[in-house]
Amino acid sequence: MSFEDLPCRDFVELATDYLEGALGPEQRLVVELHLGFCRPCVDYLDDMRAAIAAAGALRRTDVPEPVVEPLLEAFRALRDR
């Protein structure tokens, strides 16, 4: 696969693995080449990084108590997929 063969919709599918360092060397290179010419995907990745940073900065007391358990259940379901 070359960077020309990576449509933006496929980039979106790879973005999380890219940020987690879970792509193989060839896929990582294709993603990075795509990012070199696709500003919307760069913006998408920047937004993901900002969301991750914001979520990581939350303290337990920042989340309203009625929301805590549903969030934990959602995270568990994602983990168990």
Task: Say which CATH number the domain at 62 has.
Answer: 1.10.10
Alpha-carbon distance 5 to 54, whole Å?
33
Q: Which residues constitute the domain of residue 8?
A: 3-80
Residue 4 has pLDDT above 70, yes or no: no
Give the count of domains, the chain.
1
Alpha-carbon distance 42 to 58, whole Å?
25
pLDDT of residue 63: 84
pLDDT of residue 62: 85
Spell out the residues 6+ positions from residue 23 whose beta carbon is closer than 8 angstroms to its own: 14, 17, 31
Torsion angles phi and psi, residue 38, rounded to 5: -120, 95
Hey, what are 74's tokens? 């959602």
Measured between alpha carbons, how far apart are the two ends of the chain, in Å? 27
Q: How confident is the model at residue 81 (pLDDT cuts 50, 70, 90)?
A: confident
Helix residue spans in the chain (DSSP H)? 8-19, 25-37, 39-56, 65-80
| Residue range 22-76, pLDDT digits in tens | 999 999 999 999 999 999 999 999 999 999 999 888 887 888 889 888 988 998 9
pLDDT of residue 46: 96
* pTM over cut 0.85: no
